[in-house]
Amino acid sequence: MNYCLWRYIFVASLVTMGFSLRKKTKHRVDHSMLPEKDGIALQIVQEQTNFEIKKHVETFKEMQKISPLLQHATYTHLAGAVPQEKKLLTVGISAAQHPHGTYLLETLQSLFQASSTLDLECTVVLVHLTDSDPAWLQQAVTNISALFATHLEAGKLLVVHGHLGSGGGFPVKSENRSSPCQSLYSRQKVAYALLMHFASNLSEYFLLMEDNVQSTPRFVSAIYWTVLAWKELPWLVLEFSSLRFSGKVFHSSDLGRLASFFLLFPKDTPTHLLLSELPFLSFHNVPIRFGTSMFFHMGNYSESEVACFPAEEVEEFDEPDNPAAVVFTDMMSKKDLPQYAYVLSEDVFTTMDPLKGNYVMVVLDRPQKVTRIVVHTGTEIKGLFRLERGQVLLGYNRLENSKGCTSYTLLGPLVAGNLDQRVFYEDSEEEMSCIKLLVLASQESWLLIREIKVWAEPEDRSE
């Protein structure tokens, strides 16, 4: 399927963003990496940020107009041209001058090498050069033009430099009294606001990237199939990496309000806390992060990154745990048991002509702190007999008959017959008891459920 056709799909209505504040342990600062005093200071900053978000959340809900600062923003086109037609995806890169050199060229090279010809037909890469040093700007444009002339001429790459307009609205703090980290946060929020504001009409979706990132092959294709699976569900951001900023995908229709929202906060508010602590849709109040990262940090971390940001989460998974469980299904099979889908072996579960509402239910013997779930349907090579439309639900509070749970939340839909997602929890829930694979549409064919893999934190044996 030519997925460029996606840009012609009409979006019936904009997603309504509802926000509720939650403190999430996954985003807390790694204090072991910092001196005690710095750790306490960062904790205080995070508490202040939470307070500021709560204060501005209603403002965001009602936000219909763009910030006056962005309404009067000015941009200089340094290289390339704005595409004549709307694309599927804008890859937005905010690039700055770094004390020990930049990886911008390597980032662009990795991005283009990881994209097929069809990927590039559906994509525009937007580079926002944030530094105002004329010599640096000229050198950056010269280097980009020399290495990526073909992409610039083809309308695949666009380089701009932006300035905020005059007017009130962005809380000011004296630069003389700002710490290096506060100055960095201030520049970063403005840079991202300008980047998002410019990108808001270029495409259907927007991928945020830093200027020091390596991309994995066919990431555009992966993003396409994912947003297609999520198109009827509410979401604010889909995370394709565990990096602080890179790998986050937004609806372009949300960029105007997000850009304005950045400018509501004091200049010294840490940008990474805004992104990590902003609750997502009220329907889905936890991050939506996929288990396989598509983007990775390139090079060494700068001194400012080490000093001003917590250590980035390193996601490494060993073999799946698949805790002890009972498996049920309401689908018939002549020879296979539903347990075959869950037991870590070569066995599979097959059935014929699944109906809407059919399910496979995994009921854990004990509640578990599950961290990742993978579901594979269809044959491994060609994907034959996969579940065309399905989703995975997480269950809490096991029923007395052990055949299910009393409440469920959505983890996510299957993407091309598969699911690989991290699991996060709301404040009220710490462990789950059920995993339900639900058929969303009947299909007249065989269905092959190859495996359900579960990773869980070790149980506390001290109880």
User: What DSSP string describes 132-193?
Assistant: --HHHHHHHHHHHHHHSHHHHHTTSEEEEEEE--SSS-S----GGG--HHHHHHHHHHHHHH
Report all structural domains of the chain as residue ranges with CATH numbers, in order of start. 3-308 (3.90.550.10), 325-456 (2.60.120.260)
| Distance in angstroms (rounded) separating the CA atoms of residues 279 and 22 | 7
Tell me how far apart the terminal alpha carbons of the chain are, to the nearest angstrom. Answer: 53
Closest by CA position to 7, among listed 202, 154, 273, 248: 202
| Distance in angstroms (rounded) separating the CA atoms of residues 421 and 244 | 17
Count how many Cα atoms sit within 13 Å of the Cα of residue 417 in the half-sphere of its side chain. Answer: 19
Helix axes 36-62, 255-262, angle to 10 degrees: 130
Q: Residues 448, 348: contact at Cβ < 8 Å? A: yes
pLDDT of residue 302: 74
Helix (H) or strand (E) holding 117, with range, is helix 117-121
pLDDT of residue 3: 43
Q: Residues 17, 236: contact at Cβ < 8 Å? A: yes
pLDDT of residue 40: 54
**What tokens appear for 199 in the block?**
């990108």
Q: What is the pTM of this model?
A: 0.84
Q: Residues 208, 90: contact at Cβ < 8 Å? A: no
Backbone angles phi, psi at 298, to 5 degrees: -110, 130
Distance of CA 343 to the CA centre of its chain: 30
pLDDT of residue 459: 73
Backbone angles phi, psi at 197, to 5 degrees: -60, -45
User: Cβ-count burial of 236 within 10 angstroms (0-12 exposed, 13-18 middle, 19+ buried)?
Assistant: buried
**What tokens appear for 367 in the block?**
């509640």
Q: What is the CA radius of gyration of the chain?
A: 23
pLDDT of residue 20: 29
Question: Mind listing the pLDDT tens digit for each residue in 397-440?
Answer: 999 888 899 999 999 999 999 999 999 987 767 799 999 999 99
**What tokens appear for 281 in the block?**
């849709």
| Distance in angstroms (rounded) separating the CA atoms of residues 239 and 246 | 9
| Distance in angstroms (rounded) separating the CA atoms of residues 375 and 415 | 10
Q: Position of tokens 């000093």?
A: 307
Largest alpha-carbon pair distance within the chain? 76
pLDDT of residue 102: 87
Backbone angles phi, psi at 209, to 5 degrees: -140, 150
pLDDT of residue 356: 97
pLDDT of residue 277: 67
pLDDT of residue 462: 46
pLDDT of residue 60: 53
Q: What secondary structure letter does DSSP report for 109?
A: H
Helix (H) or strand (E) holding 316, with range, is none
pLDDT in tens, the chain (463 residues): 444 543 333 222 223 333 322 333 333 333 334 444 455 555 555 555 555 555 555 555 555 567 778 888 999 999 999 999 999 999 999 999 887 788 999 999 999 999 999 999 999 999 999 998 999 999 999 999 999 999 999 999 999 999 987 654 455 444 455 688 888 888 999 999 999 999 999 999 999 999 999 999 999 999 999 999 999 998 989 999 999 899 999 999 999 988 988 888 877 788 888 887 665 444 567 889 999 999 999 887 777 777 888 777 767 788 999 999 999 999 999 889 999 999 999 999 999 999 999 999 999 999 999 999 999 999 999 999 999 999 999 999 999 888 899 999 999 999 999 999 999 987 767 799 999 999 999 999 999 999 999 999 987 654 4
**What tokens appear for 346 in the block?**
């070569």
